[in-house]
Amino acid sequence: MKTKPILAILLLLCGLALAGCGEQAGDEADLAFSLRTGIVEGRMAYIGVGGAIDGQINPDLTVQTGQRVRIAIVNGDGASHDLALPDLGRQTPPVMGKETAAALTFTASETGVYSYLCTVAGHRQAGMEGRLVVTQ
Ligand SMILES: [Cu+2]
């Protein structure tokens, strides 16, 4: 049977893909946010997905000190994007191509208001910026 090696390779690839997902799921967080990139009224934006931020443009992400926080982005428009928290030294890998996802995690320590933004040249200015609010 000529198809057997192909099946074996497919099974192997599926296994690797599942292992990759497992790694992400093991990155436990107290609070998780999901944002989808998109164009709204001619401006680039992060659009909240699910929970209290669902449908909001560049939503305030409110967390409490001590919480382990996960922020995931999904590419909704096909351009290259990422999400960075420059004040906290965190940045997702770039998401290139529609439906590609990436995430970052951090533990909120200091109260304050921090920017999250896209580091691709021009995107912050085009609208891809919001606020992370860390409360007591
Ligand atoms: Cu961007």
The Cβ-side half-sphere exposure at 24, using a 13 Å CA radius, reads 14
Per the listing, tokens 């198809």 go with: 3
Report the separation in Å between the CA atom of 136 and the middle of ligand 1, taken as the mean of its atom positions.
Answer: 30
Domain membership of residue 67 as a residue range: 29-135
Residue 2 belongs to a domain: no
CA of 45 to the centre of ligand 1 (A): 8
Instruction: Pinpoint the alpha helices (H) of the chain.
Output: 3-25
- Measured in Å, residue 123 CA sits from the centre of ligand 1 at 5
CA of 2 to the centre of ligand 1 (A): 45
CATH number of the CATH domain containing 98: 2.60.40.420
- Residue 94 is assigned to a structural domain of this protein: yes
Residue 115 DSSP class: E
Structure confidence by residue, pLDDT tens digits, 24-58 = 444 689 999 999 999 999 999 999 999 999 999 99
Q: Which residues surround ligand 1, an ion (CB under 5 A)?
A: 81, 118, 120, 123, 128
Number of domains in the chain: 1
Out of 9-13, 45-49, 63-67, 107-111, which region has the weakest mean confidence (pLDDT)?
Answer: 9-13
pTM of the model: 0.80
Distance CA 132, CA 108 (A): 10
